Structure 1
Amino acid sequence: MSTQHPVIRPRRLRTTPAMRRLVAETRIHPAQLILPVFVREDITEPAPISSMPGVVQHTLDSLKGAVRDAAAAGLGGIMLFGIPATRDAIGSGATEASGILNRATAVAAAEAGDALVVQTDLCLDEFTDHGHCGVLDARGAVDNDATLERYRDMAVAQAQAGSQLLGLSGMMDGQVAAVREALDENGFADTAVLAYAAKYASAFYGPFREAVDSQLQGDRRTYQQDPANRIEGLREAALDEAEGADVLMVKPAMSYLDVLADVAATAQVPVWAYQVSGEHAMIEAAAANGWIDRDRAIRESVTGILRAGAGAVLTYWALELAAAEAAA
């Protein structure tokens, strides 16, 4: 009696590196990668961020080199975050032309030219002395509608500075419609809006607090989403798309791949994801202890985000991944 052998052998397509490369369903391309960049006002040289190995707070001068590196690597873009020397209750520095983020945007836009997309974080948390993403009412709660007025002014200021894509990360109801209207009314109809549509109140933002010298008092659970809710993420994304968002974002990425896949399956605009500071820090820390293969873990993590449906990924490893692709 002959032994029955399988006719269908999926392993045939895994036999060699060349074969695996040929049939890979998901690939990382530099144009899909966006580098988050921090620019700080009160420093004279780049300052390392201890909880995010390899990441620094830039000066306006060192920002120029970072932009050149990103362009040379073929990245899709950079996302700028500003860290001011002084803060107040309404985040005045966010709308002043002399504010660090608007100055950094002008520097980056001049340096980048048409080589990559200069993007800006449109949120008040870095600029307020209480660290919340909006202005507070008399009870100390974030005032949604008063915050929208600040976002409108921020949008115009950032567009005037040269931002091509505004990253609305504050999670205020109606923020996309408010910003879109302000841009259109002020002659910036071509400036695009990236809505952080499904942004969760995550523990994985921890290192980011150091990166932007956060002054946060309390938490952001009244406006960022509950990590327990999946359907809500899809609803938020649909609302932002209906209000005119040009791109939708899911943040964080790795713990919310189900939400990312949901949004990517239904949206009629590009969908991106942000591999946040805590995701970066965990892999770096585990690799430093010899517990995982750092390079493989980085590549696997970003591949998983793309596989789930992201058209682009904001990641602190953007330059490293682009260099690895160029060398392959």
Structure 2
Amino acid sequence: MKLIIPRLTPHHNMLIFSFFHYCEENKIIFDLKFDTKVSLSGGVLEVNNKIIYFDYSDSPVFADNPYKYNYYFKRSLREIDEKENVYPLNFQVNYSYKSLLFLSKLSYKQLVDKYNRIEIIRALDYFNAFTNSSHNAMDIRKFPKEIMDNGGKILFYTRLWNPDNHPDEDEKERRRQQNEFRIESCRIIKKSFKNASVGLFPDNLSLNIATDILLNEKKTSKKEYFGLLKQFDIGIADDGLKDTPGWKIGEYLLFGKAVVTTPLNVSIENFYEHINYEKLSTRNSFNEVPEKIEYLLSGNKYLEVGKNNLDWSNNYLHPKNFIQRILSKTLGDIKS
């Protein structure tokens, strides 16, 4: 069994560390190769003369031709494209697992490769002592194993994207709608619920247009954010780049949180409205957010949904099951 990626990037962490976990649990040689012929958002798993492609692109557009592979798993997969050998990769989360031990498995050439440098530094910084980035990966062993009741507290930390920084007019408009939703959702939650923490990352754009809901930048690091996330029960999510789910919603699930989100425009396995999440009617329906939150608060329904999501994330996101589920789904129960 061999995993091939172009280089170490945050988008590959979930796949890399899941593969590392699988190899360790099943006492298989950890065989990781680098090949720049693989798309920057892709990865290839070779097992039993079969080739499985992992497409972690934010975009619904395929990173490679599915017909070149036996099985093609894609994040941001539209339902109309789920056919033949193409399967959903579900949500993505940036996590790690025993990062120092992982580094010890890499060759000297892999360790000194300039393209791997940033992720090597992040992996070495286990305690986030000298890096403070939104792309830092938290060790999966630090994620909660059961849900906690914090009294129905609501969380929505987000950021804006400047429309003027993109040349495409459609993308400019998408960013304007995204920004409006994020700003107005923060404002309406802040106004409607005392038991809530919301706000925007304080960049130049938010400093100019939404000074009333700015976050303290010190609280926006992954270490601080994940520590805070444990203290809340309901997370608000919306589409990220290319109108597809970002990392935030996967983080909510691994922490066992109930979710209110804009419509999911991608295929997600066994993930259902009213069981795993509450859905707004449109991308712009920030005015519906309080109603969805109230529904989850009534009868403490957020605890049931949070438990459903912790169970779902254990099956679909956690490294203890991620690779095994892929192999069972495609090739049967394989250990080689």
- Same fold per superposition (TM over 0.5): no
Question: Normalising to structure 2: TM-score of the pair?
Answer: 0.29
Question: Normalising to structure 1: TM-score of the pair?
Answer: 0.30
